[in-house]
Every structure is written in C-alpha cells, then in structure tokens.
Structure 1
Amino acid sequence: MAADTTKPSPEDDIVNEKRNQGRDVAVASAALADAIRREHELTFRDAVRLYPAAIGWSAFVSIGVIMLAFDPQILGGFFATPRFEQDFGYFYELGNEYIISAPWQSGLSLGNPIGQVFGALFASYPMDHFGRKWTFGACVALTGCLVFIQFFSRALTTLLVGELLGGLVLGCYVVIAPAYASEVCPMALRGHLTSYVNLCFVIGQLLGSGVTAATENLDSRWSYSIPFALQWFWVVIILPGMFFVPESPWWLVRQGRTAEAEAVLRRLASSKAPAQAGGASVDITATLAAITETDRLEQALEAGSTYMDCFRGINLRRTEIATGVYCTQVLSGIYMINFITVFFSHGGLSTKTAFDMSIGFLATGFVGTIVSWFLILRWGRRTLFLAGLVGLTVLMFLVAILDCVPRPANGGNSLDWAEAGLLLVWNFVYDLSIGPVCFVIISECSATRVRSKSIAVCTAAQGVLGIIMTVAIPYLINPDQANARGKVGFFFGGLTVFCLAWTYFRVPETAGRTYEELDLLFDQRVPARQFKGYQLDGVAEE
C-alpha cells in the first residue's frame, strides 16, 4: 500500500506554527499601530462626543475624593467654631476666648494624612486583586460606618479615634480615583479626567467650609454634628450606583479576562455617535490591542507588579517623578487650607469674616481648576507646573514681607486684608497649575502594571510630609505658640524655590503620548527636557 503523503510531518507543523505566529504578530502590530494613530488623531471635542460614558463614570468614582477633602476641612473649621471650642477646648485668658490647644489641633488633624499613608499603601492590594470597582465600593461602605464614631463623639479622644479610623479609609480614594480615570478614557481626555481629581478636592473643601460657615453660629452641638452627618449623603449617592460602574479594562486585561475588557470598552464608548465625514470613530479592537500590547511591552521591559518593582530599573525614575510632584503640593503650603479659617481668624479678621474668606479662598480654587483645563491643552503639563511654582513662590514671599510691616497703633486692618487677598490669589494660582497637573503627571508617569502601587507610594510620601505640616502649622500660627501669622510665607516660599529647581531638571512633558510611548521614552532614558518632540523609531507621531 502506498504511503499517505498528505499527512503533515513534524517539520511541517513547526513551519505552520511559526507562520501562524508571525501572522498573529503582524495582525497585532497593525492593530497597535492603528490604535496609536487613532489616539494621536483624536481631538478633545471628538473624545467628548465618543466617550461620554467614560467621562461620567470617571467623575462618579472621583466623588470619593470629595469625601476625602470634606472631612479635614470641616474639622479645620471647627477650630474656629465657638460652640466646638467651648465643648472641646479650654479658656485662653490672655485672649479672653475658648480655643483648641495646638497639640489637640495637630492630633485631630493627623487622621487624614495618616490615613493617606496607610490607607493608600493598603488600597493597592484589593485594587490589584479585586479590581478598582469593588475596592471603591467597599471603601464607601466603610466610610458610612465610621462616620457614626465622629457623629456621636463627645470627647476629644473619641473624636481622635474616629478621625484616625476614618482617615485610613479616606486615604484609599486618592489612589483609586486617578488610577481609574487614567484607565477608562482615551489620551485626549486623560489630562482633564485625572486633573478633575483636584477639582473634587476643591469641591470637598468648598462644601466643608460652606457647611461650617452655615452652622458655626448654632449654640448647640449641632453646629458640629450636622457637618459630620452630611458625610452620609455621599454614601447614599454612591452605593446604589456601584452595581453599574464598569471595571477598568486595563485591570481586566492583566487578569486575562479579555472578553470582559472588550465588553467594558464598548460600554465606555458611545454607540450613538457615528463617525462624521473624515472625523474620528471608535475601534474597540484596536483599543484592546493597544492595551494588550502595552501590557506585553511592560512585561518584556521586566516591569513587575509589586511595591519593590516601583523602585527597580526605569520604574525608580518614574516613581521619583510621581512622588516629587505630589510632595511639591505639600511643600508649597497647601496644608494651610485645613487651617485657613483659624489662620484668617488669628490674622486679625473677625470670626464671621474669617469663615467668609475661607469660602472665597476655596472658590478661587474651583475657578482656577476649571481654567487649568484650557491651559493643559495649550501649554501641556511641564510648562504649566513650572509657571505655577514661579507664581506661588512670589506670592508666598509677598505675604511674608507684608506681615513684617509694623502695624499702626490703631490697627493694621488694611494690611491684614492685603495678606488675605494675596492668599486668595495664591490659591487661584495653585489650583490653576500644580494642584490639578500633579494628578495628571502621577497617572501618566507610572507604568500601567504598577500604577496603583506607584500612586500609593507617592500618596504615602505626600501623607508623611502632610503629617509633619499638620503638626507644625498650628504651632506656627496659634497665638499661644509662635504666632508667626503671615511670616510662614518665608518658610513655604523657600521650600517652593527648591521644588522649582527639582521640577525643571526632573519632570518631563507627558502630554500627547500614549502609555506605550511613555514606556519607551523612559526605557531609553530620555532626559526630562527632551521628552517633548522626541522622535521614537517605529512609533506613530503626531
């Protein structure tokens, strides 16, 4: 009988397998190139039209940051609330008033920054194992439970326990929000949705100041119990929506759940926005290919997913940048916001005026963040960050110099108002620049495989500095301590000069780059000042 010559030999199997692999690689490369091209061609207007769901869900998850900012803001307002001072403070004879002592002001205010340290470091584990969605939901439920301790507190020790436990959970939100925003939106929206985290900080602070200003004249415990109770409002709003929040497609790809990732990408993109003539459209297959290929590239570059991997190889530089820009917020003086009402009060303004000024202070921050969205498109990240630091330095030194001017015997009310006005401008510049841009940079500089851990590390570092500032500021501004008033501007102005020099040499321009391109730029060790316009071989450029 003749031999069956149609049966493939082992050598033929190997050849066919290699041919199929080559075909798969070619298809994947073509899909990736198409995805990168689409990312660069997608305008902001088209992105808004094509990804309304991604915008909405990113904003929804960022609500947690409003809760994070609300808690320390109302606590700082309580330090200037007469009934709270009477119930929890002591009578300061020299000033003929009730005050909360500096040690207790520092102790109570430590809950939030301590929470950022330990809560942020813990948050990355459930985020990596259970996803962004369910970690967020669990944090919201825990926050609702822990508010009971604050609401029913009748002693400083009990309130301190409530602040510490609540802070541990609140610290998770600042990791979840930017990570989620950076993973559900296209490149054209990345800067706006990650910087929206800063707007949520401002909204939380503004609401906190507004609530304490509205209740500070109540002559009962409700002057501080009502603000505590209002934290439950966000819990009631968020929890029902958790069942509909889409999971991060990047996390799903890393879990090998590609089909689910594709389904999520379809949910995030609009199905009712057909491409206009010559305009942009959504290609889910190309987007999924880009996510998969970027993850594969980071594995090829030996990018692991542990905390130690944040400090290995090229990730060390990326972690340094993320940590540096976040710590710059603290070093520039932003923790003054938590004490801004008492700062204005001890600075010569009446209690009512101090509350009104604190609201105006935060309102300028709200406007500044909105304006920053236009500048991010025009100037990018690096230039806006540098310009902001220059403005903050000048303003802080002006505040300090004004405070050195001797007050006339009949009072220096005009000088006090001038200092307050400069601080309003300072906050506007902060929220126009380094406030929102920081969250863009920490999201873009971190490798996607260690994004949650990288953000956790820089949040923890910022939290450690926050603890130091939280302890130091009451001692600097309280009348029974250093009573430095506006002279703290010399301290923060000097620190801002240091941050300006570091930023110039270390912070790159990340605007207009896909995550794969950023991986390659860092892998090739391109200097920070050359990131903008650097040509990558074999990668589509704008």
Structure 2
Amino acid sequence: MRGNERLEEREPLLGTAPVHHTRRNDDGTKNDIEDRKDPAGLIATASIDDIHTEARIAADEEHGHSFFKALKLYPAAVGWSLFFSLGVIMCGFDPQVIGQLYAVPRFQRDFGYLYEGNWIISAPWQTGLGMGSPIGQVLGALFAGYPMEWYGRKKTFGVCVICTTGLIFLQFFARSLPVLLAGELLGGLVLGTYAVIAPAYASEVCPLALRGVLTSCTNICFVIGQLLANGVIAGTEGFDSHWAYSAPFAVQWVWPFFILIGLPFAPESPWWLQRQGRFEEAEKALKRLASSDIDVKPTLAIIIETDRLEKEIETGSTYWDCFKKINRRRTEIAVGVYTIQVLSGIYLVGYATYFFTLAGLPTTQAFNMGVGFLAVGFVGTCLSWLLLVHFGRRSIYNYGLATLAVLQLIIGIIDCSPHYDQRPSIAWAEAVIMVIWNFIYDLTIGPVCFVLLCEVSATRVRSKTIALATAAQALAGIVMTVAIPYMINADQANMRGKLGFFFGGLAAACFTWAYFRVPELKGRTFQEVDIMFERNVKTREFKDYVITRE
C-alpha cells in the first residue's frame, strides 16, 4: 500500500481540466487542446482548480452520505432504478415457467409421452426447451452492448420491451414442442438484454451509498419473477385444458404494459449523456434524479473527470477493450462472479418442483414447496440489503459461497442413505436443505454478484463487461441445461440428491478462485476503483488501500 495520506486531504487525481484533451506531441511533450463544449455552464468562469474542487466536493459528499440520508436525497434515483429492473422480472419468470411446466399433468399429456404408465417430457426436449432461453440470452446480452452505447439505456429498454410483447404470442399459442422452442429461443434473445440494462442503469443513476442495494435489486427481480412463475403454475396446474400452461405465458403481458406507460418519463443515464457530449442533458438528468436542494454540478464534474481518467489510462469502449491489459483483470472478475451463480447450482431453482417430485414428495406438496422455496429466497435477498450496508462485498460473497458448497455436499451425503425409497423423511430433509441453500444463495452471492458486476467494470466499458459476463453465465447455463435433465430424470441417471456432490464440488473450486480474485469495493467511487486497478493493487489490499497522488 502506497502512502498514508487520506483521500480527502490529497490533491486532485487528475492534473487537467475536464474541458481539455491532453495529447502528446511527437517529442513527448503534452499538448492540451480544447475539444469539448462547456458542460451546462459548469466551467464557464471556473479555473482548473475550481473544477477539481467541484469534483472533490462530489467525492466527499458521496463518502459522507449514509444509506438513509442518500435515500432521502435521491428518491427519484431509487424509483427509476427499480423501474428499469422490472424487465429482469420477465427474465426470471420465463425460464422458471418452463421448468415448472414439466410437472404439470396437462402439459405432460399435451407435449409428452408415456413412460412406465406416467406422462413425461423427454430429456432431449427438456434440454431443448431449457436451452432456448440461455442461448437467446447469450446472443441478446452481447447484442445489447451496442444499442446501449449508440442510443442510450432508455431507448434500448423501450425497443426490447416492445419486442417481448410481440414474442409472447408465440409462447401463448404454442401447441407443439417445436413452436414452443421457437418462442423460448426468440424470447430469450430479448430477455438477455434486461440483465444487462438494469444493473448498468442502476449503477449510473444512484449515489455511492445506494449503489450496492439498488444494483443488487437485479437479483430480487429474478427471484420475484421465479416466485410469480411458481405461484401462477401452482394456481393453474390443476386445469384440465390448455390454460394450465397458456395462462402462465399470458401473465407476461402485464409487465410490458406498465413499463411502456412509464418509460417516456424516465431520465437517461447521465454517464451515457456525458460520453455523448450532451452535458446540459446530463445535468438535467442529474437534477431529475436528486431532490431539489441538491447541487448537481459537483456530481457532473466527477463524472467528467472519471471519464477523462479512463481515457487517459486507455480503458477503451469496445468488446475488444474488455480484454486489454488495463481491463483484463476486471473482466475476469465480472465473468467469474456471474458464472459462479450457475456453477454453484442456481439452475436447480428452475427444476425445484420437479426435483421435489422425484425426491418423493406428492405433486401438490412439491408445488407448495416450490413456492415456499422461492419465497424464502425473496426474504433472503431483502435481508442481503442489511449485509450490503454494513459488511463488505468480498466477505459476504466468500462466506456465502463456502456455505453453499457445504450444504450441497450434505444433500449428496443424505441421498446415499440406505432404503431411500422407504424413508420419506430423507426426501423432506433434502427438500428443507435445498430451501436453506436457496436462502443463503439469495442472502449472499446472488445479489452481491450484480453489485460486483457494476463496481468492478470501468464506466466506459460497463455495458460491454456486463454483457460479456451475462453471455458467459448463459453459456454455462446451456451446459447445465443439457446436463441436468439427464442427471435428474428417472429414465436417465436418476441422481436425485446426489447432484449435491456435483454442485458442491464445483462450488468448492469456485470458492478457491473467489478468495484469491474477488476484491473489496465497498465505499469506493468509480474513479477510485479505476485507480486501484490501474495500480494493480493486490486483491486482499483493496479494503484498506489509501489512494494517494502519483
């Protein structure tokens, strides 16, 4: 760790005003040329020192705000952040519906075949249907990075919601597996964009004190979508008509209706507007996000200075730039923490009800257990906000991941008990541990993943970094979607709870990686994070590192 000078006492990190672009001449000397318009009057009469003072004020205020004070000062930022997260509910709802439909009798009869006196959906078709959404999300997530930078977060969100509205018709009217697969694949193309847009927008409209909680809301929206899917399926699974599976698909039209009504009034990301040189609009957006007594000019100053710093250290703004030396470590962490969600066993959530039936629970109790399973996850995510306010991201993530590994291994051990079929208490024990597992997941690595995604990525490549991480997570999801039906189905490996050995082992390996690679970013502005990665600070030194001027 260099120096012992506190951040608020040091000189500015940057040595030039944000209205200049510093370029080196052929002889190595600096040549400052003015290449930007005056940002909304921010520096019309200000000196370079005044600009630095404005940026320091913003940094000091960000560090000085408590969670509840920031909540009071930035109510609109909270509201619009949650509004953009509504798309993630659809992202959680759709794949969950498919996973739960495998246990619906009418769906089994209309789309399945008889096996030993029971109607089931074959493992290949379960794999195909399950892969529709993650394959679409890989392509959709990677595609989202472009329009988000070309047209902004708001317009991209609106177009995606309109597309989702139309594609739901395919699922609603599907009466064969190929048509349903097409609906899942095309729908997944759009759904993948929501998991990129929501955390990126939240991180760019919220102050430091609120950033952790509001970026973690991406996870609770996934849980809400999954919970609603289970609730709807539990309410319709007894129907003896196509409405047993058509009604859940129709519910998806609710969210686009409300989103399209409110979206015209939403402010655009001030970070994106600043990068387009639209400083007046950026200032207006900041004013809309804050209470009326907040002076937003210091915030605009630090946005401009952070952008300048990233230009000077050449973070870039393309997908290729995510793999440059300056960004490579940050991209690795983002991809790693998101992919670990899959490797630790989260895809079992989509098969929860089906897993409970295979474990030996009656169908009705399995559906009730499935709803309770996700309800507990919802409570866990809400409680995670308390952890995020009081504890560091690294601690929450690593302790949570270690606990998940242990719980999965316990499930595997229990499943090895003799006379399994004659002891229903074993099935209940496995189900209860799975519920506890889901609670710990949504208390720790589930929400913290999205916080780390936003905090670890450079602002100029944030949408690209989140898109890459989302695509990598979806690719891992494709592998699990192929593997899980074959591991869990009665006509295949029939592993039941022995899946705990598989996912427990993977989670243990992931914990080893996270311990050495995931840094502590709590309480750091984006500018500070840029500096620490540029200086190649060691992982375990991030928490106590004091930034000094070089």
**1: CA distance between counterparts of 2:512 and 2:414?**
25
Matched, 1:356 2:379: no
1:37-116 matches, cutoff 5 A: 37-93=60-116, 96-116=117-137
From 215, 224, 232, the counterpart of 2:236: 215
Question: What residue number does 1:251 align with?
Answer: 272
Q: 2:156 aligns with which of 108, 125, 135?
A: 135
Q: Structure 2: how far apart are the matches of 1:225 and 1:349?
A: 26
Per-residue deviation, 1:303 = 1.3
Contact 2:131 2:482 in 1 (8 A): yes
Residue 408 of structure 1 deviates from its aligned partner by 5.8
Residue 428 of structure 2 is aligned to residue 417 of structure 1: yes
SS at match of 2:152: helix
Which residue number corresponds to residue 468 of structure 2? Answer: 457
Matched, 1:382 2:394: yes
> Would the alpha carbon gap of residues 219 and 75 (structure 1) be closer, same or farther in structure 2, given more than 3 Å must change?
same
Q: Which residue of 2 aligns with 1:404?
A: 416
Cα deviations across residues 299-342 of structure 1 (Å, max 9, x unaligned)?
00011100000000220000000000001100000001111111
Looking at structure 2, the residues matched to 218 and 425 of structure 1 have their Cα atoms a distance apart, in angstroms, of 31
Verify the 8 A CA contact 2:160 2:190 in the aligned structure 1. yes
Q: Measure the CA separation in 2 of the matches of 1:371 and 1:438.
A: 15
What is residue 186 of structure 2 aligned with on the other side?
165
Q: For 1:268 and 1:407, how far apart are their aligned partners in 2? A: 61
Counterpart of 2:419, as a letter, is R
The whole-number CA distance in structure 1 between the counterparts of 2:248 and 2:228 is: 10
> Aligned partners of 2:296 and 2:549: how far apart in 1?
23
Partners of 2:410 and 2:232 in 1: how far apart? Answer: 31
In 2, the alpha carbon distance for the partners of 1:78 and 1:512 equals 43
Matched, 1:533 2:544: yes
CA contact under 8 A between 2:145 and 2:467: conserved in structure 1? yes
In structure 2, the residue matched to 1:8 is none
Residues 314 and 326, structure 2, Cα contact 8 Å, conserved in 1: no
SS of 2:68's partner is helix
Indicate how the Cα distance of structure 1 residues 525 and 218 shifts in structure 2: closer, same or farther if over 3 A, else same. Answer: same
Which residue of 2 is the match for residue 479 of structure 1? 490
User: Partner residue of 1:448?
Assistant: 459
Q: Shift of residue 407 of structure 1?
A: 2.1
> Aligned match of 2:177 in 156, 159, 171?
156
Aligned equivalents of 1:204, 1:521: Cα separation in 2: 37
Structure 1: 5+ residue runs without aligned partners?
1-13, 275-281
2:53 alignment partner, one of 21, 26, 30: 30
Which runs of structure 2 are paired with 1:492-503 in the superposition (5 Å)? 492-503=503-514
Seen in structure 2, the aligned counterparts of structure 1 residues 484 and 336 have a Cα distance that, compared at 3 Å, is same
User: Counterpart in 2 of 1:6?
Assistant: none
Aligned to 1:368, which of 380, 404, 412? 380
Alignment of 1:504 onto 2:515: yes
Deviation, 1:22, is: 12
What is the number of residues matched between the two proteins?
511
By how many angstroms is 1:160 displaced? 0.4
Find the aligned partners of 2:61 and 2:544 in 1 and give their Cα distance. Answer: 18
Alignment CA distance shift 1:131-1:21 (3 Å): closer
Q: Can you list the C-alpha shifts for 1:236-264, whole angstroms capped at 9, x where unaligned?
A: 11111111111000000000000000000
Cα pair distance change 1:192/1:208, threshold 3 Å: same
Amino acid paired to 1:27: D
Corresponding residue number in structure 1 for 2:7: none
Cα deviation for residue 350 of structure 1 reads 1.0
**Pairing 1:391–2:403 present:** yes
Confirm or deny: 8 A CA contact 2:93 2:228 kept in the other structure.
yes
Residues 183-229 of structure 1 deviation map (CA, whole Å, 9 limit, x = unaligned): 00000000000001000000000000000010000000000000000
1:69-100: per-residue Cα shift (whole Å, max 9, x none)? 1001111111000000000000012xx21000
| Separation in 1, partners of 2:83, 2:380 | 21
Give the aligned partner of residue 305 of structure 1: 317
- Specify which of 280, 304, 307 is matched with residue 292 of structure 1: 304
CA RMSD of aligned residues (A): 1.6
Which deviations, in whole Å up to 9, do the C-alpha atoms of 1:402-427 show, x marking residues without a partner?
00001267x21001000000000000
- Per the TM alignment, residue 34 of structure 1 is displaced from its structure 2 partner at its CA by 1.0
Q: 1:88 to 1:496 in 2, by over 3 A?
A: same
Letter of the 1:237 partner, please give it: F
**Distance in 2 between residues matched to 1:314 and 1:360, nearest whole Å:** 45
What residue identity is the alignment partner of 2:361? L
When residues 455 and 408 of structure 1 are mapped into structure 2, their CA distance, relative to the original with a 3 A threshold, is closer
1:290 CA displacement: 0.5
- 1:187-202 aligned at under 5 Å gives the runs 187-202=208-223
1:264-308: CA deviation from partner (whole Å, max 9, x where unpaired): 00000012xx5xxxxxxx330100000000001100001110000
Report how far residue 538 of structure 1 moved.
4.1
Structure 1 consecutive aligned stretches of length 4 or more whose deviation exceeds 6 Å: 20-23
Q: Aligned pair in 2 of structure 1 residues 247, 22: CA closer, same or farther (>3 Å)?
A: closer
Partner of 2:198: 177
Q: CA deviation at 1:378?
A: 1.4
Q: Between Structure 1 and Structure 2, whose CA radius of gyration is higher?
A: 1
Question: Any idea what SS the aligned residue of 1:228 has?
Answer: helix
- Residue 33 of structure 1 and its aligned partner are, at CA, apart by 1.0
Cα shift at 1:115: 1.7
Q: Deviations for 1:507-542, whole angstroms, at most 9, x for unmatched residues?
A: 000000000000000000001110001011149xxx
Aligned to 1:98, the other structure's residue is in SS state strand
**Which amino acid is 1:57 matched to?**
W
- For normalisation by structure 2, the TM-score amounts to 0.91
Partner of 1:5: none
The residue type equivalent to 1:381 in the other structure is: R
- Name the structure 1 match of 2:342: 330
AA of the residue aligned to 2:491: D
CA distance in 2, matches of 1:116, 1:25: 45
Aligned partners of 2:423 and 2:238: how far apart in 1?
A: 26
Q: Is 2:338 the counterpart of 1:317?
A: no
Q: Which amino acid in the other structure matches residue 344 of structure 2?
A: S
